[in-house]
Amino acid sequence: QVQLVESGGGLVHAGGSLRLSCTLSKFTLDYYVIGWFRQAPGKEREAVSCISAAEGNPKYVDSVKSRFTISRDISRNTAYLQMNDLKPEDTAVYYCASYWSFLSECRLDAKEYGYWGPGSQVTVSS
């Protein structure tokens, strides 16, 4: 059974930075996509970014491009979401999620993801 453990959330002022981590247990990131999603209070869950299983190619939604960077360390079986220039509208619970893949492209459709972490709160004050 795939398990995901997140860490790195917290409170930061606008313009600040945080890095989220997501560690995949029992299986290797070589065959699992990692995606990041977020849900703000009263809003629908939305995709943020993903990184492909093969080649580690990233994908981002427009609202975070140039501010967020997704990466991974295969040796640690861990993916990261570096978030810079944070804005109050980035405040949300952030979830990492995963699905099995052998492709060099990832998808940002939540329906693809069968495994989810418990979530990590990110709060950005103005």
Query: What's the pLDDT tens digit per position in 53-88?
Result: 999 999 999 999 999 999 999 999 999 999 999 999
Q: What is the pLDDT of residue 87?
A: 97
One-letter amino acid of 74: I
Q: What is the pLDDT of residue 26?
A: 84
Q: What is the pLDDT of residue 12?
A: 98
Burial of 101 (0-12, 13-18, 19+ CB in 10 A): middle
Task: Quote the CA–CA distance of 44 and 96 in Å, as a whole number.
Answer: 16
